[in-house]
Structure 1
Amino acid sequence: MVLPSFNRLAWPLASFGFDVDNNGVVVDLVGPFDSIRDSPAAAAGLTVGDRIDLKQMNCWAPGSLVCAALVTVLGGSAGLQETFLDRNVNLIIRPGTGGASRVVHLRAKRVSLDLSGRLVLLADTIASILTMLAAAWLVWTRPGWMTWGFFLYFFWFNPGQTYVYYALLQAQPVLLLIEQGLEDLAIGAAMGGLLIFALSFPHAVPDPRWRRWARLALWLGAGMAVLQLLIGANLFGLPTEIFSMAGYIYSYGLNAMALALLLVRRRELHPRNEQRMRWVIAGCAIGLPVFIFAELCQTTGLLQNIWGNAPSQTVLGLLYLVQGVLAYFVWTAVRRERVISVAIPLRRGTVMTALTLALGVPVMFLHERIAQSQEMWHLPRWLWPLVVAPVLLVALQRLHEVAVDLADHAFHHSYHQARHGLELAERMVREADNFATIDRWLVEAPVRSLRLTSAAVFRDVDGALQRMIPAIGWPAAPLPELRRDLDAQVTGCLARGKPIPLLPRQWQPDGSPSEEQAPCLAVPILGWAGEAIALALFGPHETGSDITPDESDLLHRLAIQAGQGYDRVEMETLRRELRELRAQLADRAEAPPLPRPPES
């Protein structure tokens, strides 16, 4: 349904230049055009408040020209309908001021699609394809009620636009009516799937304590399908705007119910799964209301009746694109058994948006001032690209760096606190005078600064990686050492020379921490020559969230300094032993020779 939208990037569609609600009432005479002067409907004499005569125009004869004209402008869901260029329809219109019905002939006019509109359409189409592929991949790799619910919902409620698809069906009203009925059933299945997903995540089947609600979810989805079928009855002469409004209120209620189920069930989950649930809740809180609002603007006349205006198609495309945030968050939470804190991507998205707005306005103002200055000063044309533009680019780049640094410190205060704590640990391991001190700082500093559940160091002693003391979160006696052949999942980081993330249950031998404290990151500790000295294993955060890539970099930097510290301590130890050996040899050289025994 969304693939034909690629055609619209090169060949924009056409429009009759008016919007109607599900009662057939004209609510707008501009449509996708820039001005009412460009609207074919306004040129034909239509006014706001005029009504399509649904008693005379209906689809009881699906193959008739009357039905073909009606589905072209109404389509069963009202709102803005687009079609192919030069398509002609005859509509029976009842004037809003009263009087006899009249026939109005309309000819579709091409709608220009600017660069921003094409980019938004391209982004929506690509996002919808990726969303459906992600949902299908989850069903294929993790079949269950949860993933099927996710697939059913995003198969229909995705960022894609379907104007071209419906334009293709307008010439075959029978096929469009069949598609409309199947679409109504699909919407019901999608809403039921969303509730099933909320009752199941993060497990494959609904939570046993909530299994009774699963049957109710199916009935609620069926109720949504019935409402959608009632809305489509306007093609058969019934005004259905009230059903349309009821459908959106009902849809909002089902979305709120899904979000409430996720919030309630979050308290019952293991900390690791609770973090995954936070991703789903954040995605739903962002994506669901925005998507429904966009649908409300596009398929009903509510905003036109209240405010007298509605968002443009480009703005609606951006609103639909937000649904991709929900898809990405859910896909991440389902795919990964351990996730980082959802606050991190939310903060980064907020910072990026704020910086874009904060820097975009000055740039536009500066552009206007430069244009005025160029007209005023009459400077040579070569001066602007060779002198002025490079200076402005350098200034803006520096301004961007300062803004990013300030925003980073403001929104990532806890991360910078942890960084300062680990930088102190780096200095201490460099200056340590014995191995035990380095071992202690490697374990205690990350746990304290990053609030980790476990940490341990396994150092090479006589060719074996033996566990050092202290080891936080590890049992006292079991697993005293690692074997390179049996524990290759973690010792492999020594050959790679960089940290390796560990999935839950990927490596959990006897004697290792419990599942809540099991290591999620293996960090190698190498010497100056690249030889393996030790490795450190770190567990997740106390909240159950995974170690982030930035935190992994901090731990890797600490491990590098620890490796140099180990080398320095070993070198100092060898020097001290060498001095002691030299002193012993000197003492022996200065001692008087022993008397020779008498000869017999």
Structure 2
Amino acid sequence: MPAEDRLIADRNGASLFGRVALVLLTIYALAMVAPDFLRVVRPLGSFGLATNGDGMIYDVQGPFASEEDSPAWRAGLRVGDRLDLVAMRCIPVDTDLCASALSQLGGVNYVVPGREARLIIAATGKRPAHEVTLVAEPRPDNRLFEVIVALDILAGVLVVLGAAWLVWTRPGAMTWGFFVYVIQFNPGQAFQIWAWTQLWPWALLAQDFIAQAMQAAAYTGLLLFALRAPLDRTEGRWRNVERALPAIFIVFLAVALAGMGSVFGYPTEIWARSSLFVGFAVSVAAVAILLGRRRDLSPRDYQRIRWVIWGCVIGLPAYLLAQLSQETSLFAELFGLGLTSEEVAGGLYLINGVLCLFVVEAVRRPTVVNVWIPLRRATVFGLLLSVPVLFLHKQIEVIDEYIHMPNWAWIAVASGLVYLIARAHEFATELANRLFDREFIRAERHLATVGETILHARSLAEVDRLLVDEPMRSLHLASAALFREQDGVYHRRASAGWDADEADAFAADDPLLAERFERKPYPVGATQASHARLPHDLARPLLAVPVGNPRRCYAMIFYSGHEAGTDLDSSEHHLLGSLAHDAEIAYAQIESEMLHERVAALEGQLAQAPQPS
């Protein structure tokens, strides 16, 4: 086989192997989180206690309304009791004691309702070691908790599918790193699959080890992604960091596996906490790498990186805080608190999911809007959502007890609440924009004045100039160009940021103008731009704005993104569309006046012409 054919065959084989691996890992990730949808309609059971890696019991109420409802409390267990880790160690694995130890590994855990657990409580100065048998009872219904679980699982599925889609469409070390990260750190939870595997201790122990390995891989994948995003390449000094990633992965894996020592009789709370604190260090390192690389990136790519930076600053720490509160006793020791509310923890997981979707969007799109826009909208939404959450957290069960509404009625109530929140979000977002986006408000007022000027313009050239120069100056755009129709061809009449050798005319059937009769701004795709002689980099047109009516398009205006490298957002689309509407009226009026003048001139010439005898 020739060397070239062999190289092609190797690439095809690698591509096929990568796609098969991607499909299998995607199925694994979805299989871990998707079954939790069952918890919404069929609650899992709980023993009502939480233990840390040293075997210390730090909560004996769990998800139940009071301690008296908890199986652990009724069995005589109290905060401060300690499991005898040596007596319950998983040697051999296939024993009831090992299964019970695995069921209590790391904080909050759920099991199949009715499941029994044998726990050996270590001796204290007041009483000897003794054995306790617990029977899991179903978690009490909690409408708010069920909604948050459903949102978490839905977000987890979307994040996994989004990251998998990135790998499928643009395979490379960058997208693979992010995909491996979200397999472990997505907002979905895996309590249902853990509850099922607890019936087979060997399977549960194997899955525990796989989870620790995936956590180490996720940390390493995030660093790899930070080194390569958004163009999937590593520059200069960062190559040495990339070469060190295998060694860093081994360190992460060693710390994670050390946290498994409790199932073999060793206290490991310090390692469990260390494994999560490593995540905070990784988050800081990823942000430092991204900030350090900003000088090597174009303005447009740096704006995409800013989305990733905020994902690392907010998303991963939110997830790790939720895990620290649910899987370790750190908060109980530092603040004297019991378990953090599962609704709060679920909200933190959801924040991570939203930020992961930010990252997917930043990789998917060549140009993004300013990161403050989605952050502001997400913050407003979170504040709006927190009001009913704070109210319903304590009141929803009381309402359900007195009214006894059927499930379909709760769905109707929830739908109405969602509608009201959506409308309130729309109003609050607009208010927040007016309070915090002063620059846009100035541009809006200025362009409103420009619109009035356009309506009273006396020439087509004046309208052309205003549509190009004023939006560029007000919105800080990198380029703008106006093409006015004449005899079926659109000629460039005014432009800024365009060179002389770039397109100066478009035929009416050019694909770039295909949507001109829709009468609303539409994006200029990268594929469309590549087929025309258009500016590149920051000056590349991103938005096409038609000026006309359903029967005639007077002109087409092409606007780039901002000089800073960000895309135009929906508010700016609307603003430019409104300006085009004013221009449509002006063009029609000016052409009508010009036509009347020509008719009057011709009539005057005709009147002065000698009459035939």
How many percent identity over aligned positions? 38
Question: What residue identity is the alignment partner of 1:468?
Answer: R
CA pair 104-499 structure 1, distance change in 2 beyond 3 A: same
* Alpha-carbon distance in structure 2 between the residues aligned to 1:461 and 1:39: 81
* Alpha-carbon distance in structure 1 between the residues aligned to 2:424 and 2:506: 50
Aligned-pair CA distance for 1:512: 3.1
CA pair 402-340 structure 1, distance change in 2 beyond 3 A: closer
8 A Cα contact 1:409 1:416, kept in partner: yes
1:239 corresponding residue in structure 2: 267
1:8 corresponding residue in structure 2: 39
2:373 corresponding residue in structure 1: 344
* Alpha-carbon distance in structure 2 between the residues aligned to 1:231 and 1:405: 48
Q: Secondary structure at the match of 1:349?
A: helix
CA pair 65-511 structure 1, distance change in 2 beyond 3 A: closer
Match status 1:36 vs 2:36: no
Match status 1:460 vs 2:485: yes
* Alpha-carbon distance in structure 1 between the residues aligned to 2:340 and 2:58: 14
Q: Secondary structure at the match of 1:468?
A: strand
Question: What residue identity is the alignment partner of 1:507?
Answer: A
Q: Secondary structure at the match of 1:60?
A: coil
Q: Secondary structure at the match of 1:474?
A: coil
CA pair 354-65 structure 1, distance change in 2 beyond 3 A: closer
1:48 corresponding residue in structure 2: 79
Aligned-pair CA distance for 1:32: 1.5
CA pair 2-453 structure 1, distance change in 2 beyond 3 A: same
CA pair 357-91 structure 1, distance change in 2 beyond 3 A: closer
Q: Secondary structure at the match of 1:23?
A: coil
1:127 corresponding residue in structure 2: 155
Aligned residues: 557
Aligned-pair CA distance for 1:207: 3.4
Q: Secondary structure at the match of 1:48?
A: coil
CA pair 353-185 structure 1, distance change in 2 beyond 3 A: closer
Aligned-pair CA distance for 1:515: 2.2
Aligned-pair CA distance for 1:491: 1.6
TM-score, normalised to structure 1, is 0.87
Q: 2:439 aligns with which of 388, 396, 414?
A: 414
* Alpha-carbon distance in structure 2 between the residues aligned to 1:116 and 1:196: 37
1:384 corresponding residue in structure 2: none
Deviates more, 1:94-103 or 1:298-307: 94-103
Aligned-pair CA distance for 1:511: 5.2
Deviations 1:422-447, CA, capped at 9 Å, x for gaps: 21221122111111101110111110
* Alpha-carbon distance in structure 2 between the residues aligned to 1:53 and 1:398: 55
* Alpha-carbon distance in structure 2 between the residues aligned to 1:408 and 1:535: 29
8 A Cα contact 2:517 2:551, kept in partner: no
Q: Secondary structure at the match of 2:181?
A: helix
Q: 1:165 aligns with which of 193, 197, 205?
A: 193
TM-score, normalised to structure 2, is 0.86
Deviates more, 1:413-422 or 1:156-165: 413-422
Matches within 5 A, 1:89-168: 89-97=117-125, 99-168=127-196
Match status 1:501 vs 2:532: no
Q: Secondary structure at the match of 2:217?
A: helix
2:353 corresponding residue in structure 1: 324
8 A Cα contact 1:48 1:96, kept in partner: no
Aligned-pair CA distance for 1:100: 2.5
CA pair 35-360 structure 1, distance change in 2 beyond 3 A: closer
CA pair 98-259 structure 1, distance change in 2 beyond 3 A: farther
Aligned-pair CA distance for 1:186: 1.1
Deviates more, 1:407-416 or 1:4-13: 407-416
Which one has a bigger Cα radius of gyration? Answer: 1
Aligned-pair CA distance for 1:98: 5.2
8 A Cα contact 2:502 2:535, kept in partner: no
Match status 1:433 vs 2:458: yes
8 A Cα contact 1:146 1:206, kept in partner: no
Match status 1:288 vs 2:316: yes
* Alpha-carbon distance in structure 2 between the residues aligned to 1:284 and 1:468: 46
Q: Secondary structure at the match of 2:220?
A: helix
* Alpha-carbon distance in structure 2 between the residues aligned to 1:401 and 1:126: 23
CA pair 114-145 structure 1, distance change in 2 beyond 3 A: same
2:52 corresponding residue in structure 1: 21
Aligned-pair CA distance for 1:326: 1.8
Question: What residue identity is the alignment partner of 1:68?
Answer: A
Q: 2:475 aligns with which of 427, 447, 450?
A: 450
Match status 1:482 vs 2:506: yes
Q: Secondary structure at the match of 2:33?
A: coil
Aligned-pair CA distance for 1:226: 1.2
* Alpha-carbon distance in structure 2 between the residues aligned to 1:519 and 1:551: 14
Q: Secondary structure at the match of 2:92?
A: coil
CA pair 189-180 structure 1, distance change in 2 beyond 3 A: same
Deviations 1:89-148, CA, capped at 9 Å, x for gaps: 221111444542111122222221310011111111111111111111111111000110
Aligned-pair CA distance for 1:537: 0.9
Q: Secondary structure at the match of 1:112?
A: coil
Aligned-pair CA distance for 1:413: 2.3
* Alpha-carbon distance in structure 2 between the residues aligned to 1:582 and 1:404: 58
1:387 corresponding residue in structure 2: none
1:259 corresponding residue in structure 2: 287
8 A Cα contact 1:49 1:95, kept in partner: no
Structure 2 gap segments, 5+ residues each: 1-31, 400-419
Question: What residue identity is the alignment partner of 1:501?
Answer: P
8 A Cα contact 1:286 1:325, kept in partner: no
CA RMSD of aligned residues (A): 2.6
Structure 1 gap segments, 5+ residues each: 372-394, 595-600
